[in-house]
């Protein structure tokens, strides 16, 4: 009887979901690397391998976890719980396939040209989709060691 009263008392209530909201998912493309920010890696749950899918008609790029045995699997992170930073993929074939959808501006000496696009996260499906139409282009200072002149 007590169970019934409790059930009717809480009818219409929903539990508070204790999942923190996802930050902005961002993919950055340069002529040599495709970088996914930490929020993107978190939505995907830091998989060791991903598949990158391109929809040529809608000009969208999707990232979703896969297994190492899958065809076209790309090394993504060190695995769940082992990575806490953004992920850079330098696979030349992949970089070329993605970068052809973006127009990179001429970069001044000592800088690198990039295109950046926010993604739409689908945490239930462990997928992030980036819409090329929403990309912004720019240049940034080169990271890493300065080359001796």
Give the separation between CA 65 and CA 148, rounded to whole angstroms.
40
Number of H-type helices and E-type strands within the chain: 3, 9
Residue 102: what pLDDT?
Answer: 93
* pLDDT tens-place string over residues 42-67: 899 899 999 999 999 999 999 999 99
Identify the band that residue 2 occupies on the pLDDT scale cut at 50, 70 and 90. Answer: low
* pLDDT tens-place string over residues 67-99: 989 999 999 988 766 667 889 999 999 999 999
Of residues 127, 133, 134, 104, the one with CA closest to residue 29? 104
Please state the three-class secondary structure of 78-124 as a single string: CCCCCCCCCEEECCHHHHHHHHCCCCCCCCCCCEEEEEEEEEEEEHH
């Amino acid at each position: 009887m007590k169970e019934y009263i409790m059930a009717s008392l809480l009818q219409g209530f929903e539990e508070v979901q204790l999942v923190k909201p996802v930050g902005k998912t961002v993919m950055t493309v340069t002529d040599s690397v495709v970088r996914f920010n930490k929020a993107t890696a978190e939505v995907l749950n830091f998989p060791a391998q991903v598949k990158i899918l391109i929809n040529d008609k809608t000009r969208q790029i999707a990232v979703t976890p896969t297994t190492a045995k899958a065809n076209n699997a790309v090394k993504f992170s060190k695995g769940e719980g082992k990575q806490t930073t953004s992920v850079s993929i330098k696979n030349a074939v992949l970089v070329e396939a993605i970068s052809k959808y973006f127009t990179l501006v001429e970069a001044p000496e000592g800088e690198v040209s990039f295109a950046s696009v926010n993604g739409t996260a689908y945490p239930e499906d462990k997928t992030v989709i980036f819409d090329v139409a929403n990309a912004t282009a720019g240049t940034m200072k080169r990271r890493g060691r300065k080359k001796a002149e």
